[in-house]
Structure 1
């Protein structure tokens, strides 16, 4: 049992700090793909893994349903939300509109010091990723370029739409849009170009670059999910054909 699990032993409350800790553990498992999209959530197994009763796990699952990361049909077990091409396209279209405006506002509102800090953090995140690719210790990722831009916009409605409950679902889709190494390389270059436009105080260019960046990610993800759905459908058809002996 790892240290994080040990901290849960003998703490049985389904509310409060314990419930928050279990929620974060399950959320991290979804982010990292250890609980894959569409997979059944085994509350008993998770409770054993974390060293708690089922109460805190059940509460975590309920909260995850509230932020659309978990679904539960009547009389069915809870599952991690399945990623569909159509849902991805809708979410990324919304991101194009809102993050484009957020980027324009951030260009006008960020101080020179804030821009310089964001540039430094982008490079630090790049170095962390390179260490990870070399198999070296890189530490957990704490930098989210898109969240930083949205919050820098100062527009509370945009921040609420993209950085609160919906943020978690968006983050899962974004993770899948950047799973291919080539897309990671492109994304870093595009982030750098967006920041260069912000540093130059070119709000129109920054907005255009952000929209284009998200559009490319959307095309990449849509193609990936559509191909996956087609492959899954072909396997199901093959299984039915084998079952009927045709």
Structure 2
């Protein structure tokens, strides 16, 4: 029994990651029921790790329990979406400020490389965007800030596919990243924070446009 526990926990974490991937890709949408048996079969797990994953998603605020229905992907209302983006603005703006002060030259070079790859179209823009933000958070050197941002990003997955799939938004985001990078490289904490705040505000507007279009 003792020997099986770590394996079961590992499977639960993998099931959690796989379900998040399904939400991120738009295969699971707000309001969709999470059926343990169906998910276990589709993802190739037993029901126990899937049940653990659903509990974790409930704890994260991604899944809710609907009476007489069971577990389902949460629906975020307009106010909740605005509140989440408001928190992103504050937290990621602060991360940019901290990174301008604390980032090493190696970390700044990594951010520049990710930005260059995104500008050249060398890779999936969504993946590169995630890498850029993750590298900036690492450079901010604050574990509590990193945890808070990760929690918000997990909840925002409910909204579905990234707005970066739209060509115009991807081009705008690239320019916004350039402004953030410029502030970081100059060690200008105010400029880095303001550029990040502008970036998140633009992402918020793009998301609302996407949701209005349905």
8 Å Cα contact 1:115-1:198 kept in structure 2: yes
Superposed CA deviations along residues 52-91 of structure 1, whole A, max 9, x for unmatched, are 3322222211111111111112332211122332211111
TM-score (norm 2): 0.84
Aligned mate of 2:203, from 200, 217, 241: 217
1:31 corresponds to which residue? 24
8 Å Cα contact 1:39-1:80 kept in structure 2: yes
Q: What is the number of residues matched between the two proteins?
A: 209
2:141 corresponds to which residue? 154
Q: Which runs of 4+ in 1 moved over 3 A?
A: 140-143, 170-179
Structure 1 residues 37, 174: closer, same or farther in 2, change over 3 A?
A: closer
Alpha-carbon distance in structure 2 between the residues aligned to 1:144 and 1:212: 19
What do you get for the CA RMSD once the two structures are aligned? 2.8
Where is the helix percentage greater, Structure 1 or Structure 2? Answer: 2
TM-fit CA distance, 1:122: 2.7
Alpha-carbon distance in structure 2 between the residues aligned to 1:141 and 1:199: 19
Superposed CA deviations along residues 145-182 of structure 1, whole A, max 9, x for unmatched, are 2232223212333222113x333113554844434221
Alpha-carbon distance in structure 2 between the residues aligned to 1:166 and 1:94: 8
2:36 corresponds to which residue? 43
Structure 1 residues 30, 217: closer, same or farther in 2, change over 3 A?
A: same
Superposed CA deviations along residues 99-142 of structure 1, whole A, max 9, x for unmatched, are 11211110111122210111112333441037x9xxxxxxx769
Q: What residue ranges of structure 2 are gaps of 5+ in the alignment? A: none
Q: What residue ranges of structure 1 are gaps of 5+ in the alignment? A: 1-10, 133-139, 229-246
Larger Rg: 1
